[in-house]
Amino acid sequence: MKANPMRYARFLRFAALPALAMAATLLAFSCAHPKEVVQKPPQAVSVQKAAFASFALEAEYAARILPAVTVNIIPKVGGRVASVRVDVGDAVKKGQVLFTIEKGDYDAQLRQADATLRSARASLARSDETGQESQLLQAQSAYDQAVVARDETKNVRDKTKRLFDQGAVSRQQMDDIESRLKAAEIQVAAAKKNLALVRDKAGAQASAVLSGQVDAAKAQTDLAKSQLASTSVLSPLTGHVSYRDIEEGEMVGTSALAFIVIDDSKVLAEAALSDRSIGWLSRGMDVAVTIPALGPLGEHSGRVDWVGPAVDPRTLLYPVRIILDNADGEIRPGMLARIRFPIEERRQVLLIPERSHFTENGLDYVMLVRNDTAVKRNIVLGESDGSNVEVLSGLAVGDEVVTAGQEFLSDGDLVKVVQ
């Protein structure tokens, strides 16, 4: 079989191509210039020398904000609410009316007590100028008046009792009429005793009895005046209303909480401290208080107002109270706060700025500057005060520690120290 000359020539041409390509590559490589190594320019850094110094350790505890003064408002007399003058959140002044109670019954009691007092004083004034017969008439009249008043009060009590049984009146009204009936019975007993004394004796003894009646009547008048004045319930302090549980037209008694008024011109930060920290606090000491809810305005200076003398058995911590000025009202009760205070002073320890160290694989490092070159150094750290940190090993006094720019450095990089 004869070989095909054309096929053989094509074979030689394709077989030679790889060899030609390799030769061309070698020729190009041999003609290329050697690659130049580019040197990185020095990086600008700031440094600070490690030095011995003293610093104070701080403790931080959570706290809650409370008003400096909280007063629960409970009415001294019962009755129907006539008006409500303030609401929750309102600012109030000391002596301002919070709400009023209908005063009709208390006004009537005052008029009755005042009339009794005038009668007793008149009787006492006439006792020295009249004889036994006149004194007897007066004593009899006082007794008769007391009996009539008692009977009228008893009738009112009986009617009120029937309404109370039907649920038409409140327990407070029932209790009030029972008290009035007891007072009327006491008046009858006193008048009866006085009448008996006048019948048996005269002169100075009778005058003494009448004088006692004047004193009793005056006491009843003073009580009636006080009850009438108590129908207007006043704020005992200047502050804000933080609670209200009363409505116009409803019945209130003398045991129901109606309002809470707080004085928030000063506020308290209450915290609980461990036994390690409590020994560093004393009354009057200034501490730093941070209120996160206020953002940039949340940094305040407080004063230790009270330190618990014993541990709380529930928490095994010591209660502490810090007082803060709040004249502008920006701090609101219920906010959370953090208090900071020194607990230990470290003297003459090797310090570097807190921002200068970094952590890799659980180990702490700094970058030093030696002969314009960055040197990575492993160190062991101690306590920190938030600005500076104690170095236990790995550094010496005078070592130049990079404080700015270290995040872009590698060991061996050229550096340039700038301010």
Predicted local confidence at residue 32, as pLDDT: 47
Q: What is the pLDDT of residues 68-112, one digit of tens each?
A: 999 999 999 999 999 999 999 999 999 999 999 999 888 988 898
Tell if the pTM clears 0.75, that is, is over it: no
More confident of the two residues 73 and 121: 73
All residues at 6 or more sequence positions from 150 whose CB lies less than 8 Å from its CB, including other chains: 181, 184, 185, 187, 188
Q: Give percent of the chain with pLDDT exceeding 70.
A: 86
Q: Which domains are delineated in the chain?
A: 46-57+346-417 (2.40.420.20), 59-64+262-344 (2.40.30.170), 75-101+232-257 (2.40.50.100), 104-229 (1.20.120)
3-state secondary structure the chain: CCCCHHHHHHHHHHHHHHHHHHHHHHHHHHHCCCCCCCCCCCEEEEEEECEEEEEEEEEEEEEEEEEEEEEEECCCCCEEEEEECCCCCCEECCCCEEEEECCHHHHHHHHHHHHHHHHHHHHHHHHCCCCHHHHHHHHHHHHHHHHHHHHHHHHHHHHHHHHHHCCCCCHHHHHHHHHHHHHHHHHHHHHHHHHHHHHHCCCHHHHHHHHHHHHHHHHHHHHHHHHHHCCEEECCCCEEEEEECCCCCCEECCCCCCEEEEEEEEEEEEEEECHHHHCCCCCCCEEEEECHHHHHHHEEEEEEEEECCCCCCCCCCEEEEEEEECCCCCCCCCCEEEEEEEEEEEEEEEEEEHHHCEEECCEEEEEEEECCEEEEEEEEEEEECCCEEEEEECCCCCCEEEEECHHHCCCCCEEEECC
Residue 315 has pLDDT above 60, yes or no: yes
Question: Could you tell me the pLDDT band of residue 23, with boundaries at 50, 70 and 90?
Answer: very low
Residue 238 has pLDDT above 90, yes or no: yes
Q: Which two tokens stand for residue 71?
A: 């007063």
Q: What's the average model confidence in pLDDT over 129-137? A: 64
**CA 384/CA 403 separation, integer angstroms:** 16
Mean pLDDT taken over the chain: 83
Question: Could you tell me the pLDDT band of residue 9, with boundaries at 50, 70 and 90?
Answer: very low
Q: What is the pLDDT of residues 145-181, one digit of tens each?
A: 888 888 888 888 888 888 888 877 788 888 888 888 8
Which residue, among 300, 287, 139, 273, has the nearest Cα to 205 in the 3D structure? 139
Of 41-45, 234-238, 393-397, the poorest mean pLDDT is in: 41-45
